[in-house]
Amino acid sequence: MPTYCYSVPDGITVERDFKMGEAPPSIVLDDGLVAERDLRAEHLPRNASHPGWPLECIGSGVNAAQAGELRKFFKDSKFDCEVSMDGNPIYRDPQHRKRALKLRGFFDKASYC
């Protein structure tokens, strides 16, 4: 599910997940403030200090039955990378993701890295 950003006038920005195309133009926060969708914040480049990291990557994951094999591959390669129970690698930051993909022979042509 995509993550959408919402901001209030005092500068607080929160992220919420909605199905694609179903994000409302504004949301009401727990304290009663109305936050408007912030397209600018959604298009800022992500980095390790930005929410969203660590990232569980479904696209470079394997079947849950192969999760142990992927863990063993990373361990044998002396590369520190967690793998979820579902078989998805968990990347700590963009550089970690890039190194892990390269190690496995993957290349993400649409990547921001």
- Cα(first)–Cα(last) distance of the chain, in Å? 21
Question: What is the rounded CA–CA span in Å between residue 75 and residue 85?
Answer: 16
89 and 62 within one domain: yes
* Residue 89 and residue 54 in contact, taking contact as beta carbons nearer than 8 Å: no
CB 8, CB 23: distance < 8 Å: no
Nearest to 62 by CA among 83, 84, 87: 87
In this structure, the answer to whether residues 90 and 59 fall within a common structural domain is: yes
- Does 80 fall in a domain? yes
On whether both 68 and 33 belong to a single domain, the answer is: no
Mind listing the pLDDT tens digit for each residue in 29-86? Answer: 888 889 999 988 887 665 545 567 788 898 899 999 999 999 999 999 999 999 999 9
Rounded to two decimals, the pTM is 0.54
Domain that holds residue 90: 55-103
Position 110 in a domain: no
65 shares its domain with 25:
no
The total of structural domains in the chain comes to 2
